[in-house]
A and B are shown apart, each in its own frame.
Chain A
């Protein structure tokens, strides 16, 4: 496990079959100023659910964030296919704005059918986006995520991982270089923890960012449960009842519903470490060391001619 010498990684603890787990806590100031992350998910609600806290934290600590959605989400929303595409598209923009993303790219591949698309085509598109946004860090699905039954997530994770490699290469998609987009090294990756049994090696304390996570989640109404609070409140009202938890307006109802019923996993993840909420990730550090082994060898052994 390489903690990369990052100062805010304040402790490593024994994991549950995942080797060492690094606890990533708040860091004062803006240590990530000038850095860029690109979060890439398949469906509207995934990023806020699995990584809303992390994204809010990284943006607060200086990162510029970009959001990419790979599908058109046509299967979710309870309306016609076309209406679902529209509602998810608009909610995605609102969710991104709530999280503070600088820009959003939608690729609109058909939901539930991404295993029919050309792997090289989506990889090429993602490579351009990573170069264009100058991504240092990527947040997405684990490309070998155990037990991940959603094929859109499998395809997205695989394509993102491949694109991270190609984005750094001067020989791939040279037309991008011609257009002024230089090779881009993506040196850090956070893979979502989407299913129990998947590996994770980093636990991010999102206690300070849970309100931002909820803000993003309530924008996901077509899927992700963002409107369940107001719907429950309305249903109870028709029965002449109310839940004090849900407050007196729809927004409060939606937010408190999310907090009460949809964040259990994140409370559970944090509890052993005394975090009120935490998100799990498999973190990959590809930052080059300050000195290579060759540098060290030369330093030690070089003699005058």
Chain B
């Protein structure tokens, strides 16, 4: 737990929450006539990076705030965080993944694309991202990272049924109980890989528990995987989804920072801090928050500039940092409830 505190608010040159916290929300006067109730909500945004929180939120009226749970209540459970690209889970869900793993889950990171669309050349890009996902997985506490290497930005060229089949295999092999994925019902997503990934994960989740789909897996000794919990995150910019769960990631923000710093090949984090520090040095300047060494510069950059929007989101709920999800939990015991009613109300013949 000490490790988490390596970047306390005061540890990086008196770092405070980023400037964005002081900015006014960009809503302005709403032109929505009073007879209408807004269905989507804009919340303050730092404008430091597009790849943080979405432009709108739609909240369910039974929204739950998920807070830290003492001990290891999830011991024995398995989560799979599935992403199309190396930066998806780190940016949008790493705090919650790290939290659940700390609370007892065994975690796995599954990347579906090869991330070839980021890098100096295609070859350099895939190699860097391949290495990055291992580091990012470690930073969240995942036991292992897998990659399917579908071509980046071309996943709508692949058969969803094949991706789904491979996910079913992995879910059964790893005995997954809980998944994280890009919401397949996001209101806006220009990246086809996200849409394909979300749909493939969703289908795989329920089929992994069935006896009739891919029975050869059972011949191979695998067991059905009963996935009872899903955390769907939005993409950003834009891309809002229905939110019914806000997770307090305040204790895990440094995990999230480290996870994003691990992503050197893609995303807004990686070595951005070092680059800014060097750029300023060439101009004979420095930013105190970037510290005196490269590691501090990268960590501080991510925490100050990229995590600020998660702080602004958290503030709306009285939390220091938060991530938002469409959470789908275990189904009620429908048959059990009917039997309960029957046993309570049945009368002698």
Contact = CB atoms under 8 A, between A and B. Distances in A.
Contacts of B41: none
A120 B146 contact: no
Interface in A167-215: 173-176, 178-181
A124 B165 contact: yes
B327 to A, nearest CB: 27
Interface stretch (A26-34, A93-101, A125-133): A125-133
B7 interface: no
A132 B162 contact: no
A175 B146 contact: yes
B166 A125 contact: no
A103 interface: yes
Interface string B311-329: 0000000000000000000
A124 B159 CA distance: 12
Contact of A121 (B165, B215, B217): B165
Tell me the dominant secondary structure on chain B's binding face: helix
B162 A179 contact: no
A198 B41 CA distance: 67
Contacts of B146: 174-175, 178
Contacts of B215: 105-106
Nearest to B173: A179
Interface string B105-137: 000000000000000000000000000000000
Nearest to B217: A128
Q: Which of B162, B173, B214, B221 has the most CB of A within 10 A?
A: B162
Interface string A110-151: 000000011111001100110010000000000000000000
A128 B219 CA distance: 11
A57 B220 CA distance: 27
Interface in B260-301: none
Q: Which of A103, A125, A129, A181 has the most CB of B within 10 A?
A: A125
B216 A179 contact: no
A118 B219 contact: no
Give the bracket for the number of chain A residues in contact with chain B: 20 to 34
Nearest to B110: A175
Contacts of B166: 124, 173, 175
A132 B219 contact: yes
A227 B107 CA distance: 56
Q: Which of B146, B165, B217, B221 has the most CB of A within 10 A?
A: B165
B220 A125 contact: no
A129 B165 contact: no
Contacts of A107: 216
A181 B221 CA distance: 11
B159 to A, nearest CB: 3
A125 B214 contact: yes
Nearest to A118: B159
B133 to A, nearest CB: 14
A197 B220 CA distance: 39
B17 interface: no
B169 interface: yes
Interface in B129-171: 146, 158-159, 161-162, 165-166, 169-170
A128 B146 CA distance: 18
A132 B165 contact: no
A8 to B, nearest CB: 32
Nearest to B214: A125
A121 B220 contact: no
Contacts of B220: 128, 132, 179, 181
A105 B159 CA distance: 23
A174 B166 CA distance: 10
B147 to A, nearest CB: 8
Contact of A132 (B158, B170, B216): B216
Contacts of B170: 175
Contact of B158 (A120, A129, A180): A120
A197 B118 CA distance: 51
B15 interface: no
B216 A120 contact: no
Contacts of A118: 159, 161-162
A128 B168 CA distance: 13
Contacts of A105: 215-216, 219
B173 A124 contact: no
Contacts of A106: 215
B315 to A, nearest CB: 41
Contact of A120 (B162, B214, B219): B162
A132 B216 CA distance: 9
A129 B215 CA distance: 11
A108 to B, nearest CB: 9
A26 to B, nearest CB: 32
B194 to A, nearest CB: 20
A120 B159 contact: yes
Interface string B4-41: 00000000000000000000000000000000000000
Contacts of B219: 103, 105, 132
8 contacts: A105-B215, A118-B159, A124-B165, A132-B220, A175-B170, A175-B173, A178-B146, A179-B169
Give the top 7 A-B pairs by smallest Cβ distance, nearest first.
A118-B159, A121-B162, A120-B162, A121-B161, A132-B220, A179-B173, A118-B161
Given A118-B159, A120-B162, 8 more contacts: A105-B215, A119-B159, A121-B162, A121-B165, A124-B165, A124-B166, A132-B220, A179-B221
Interface of B: 146, 158-159, 161-162, 165-166, 169-170, 173, 214-217, 219-222
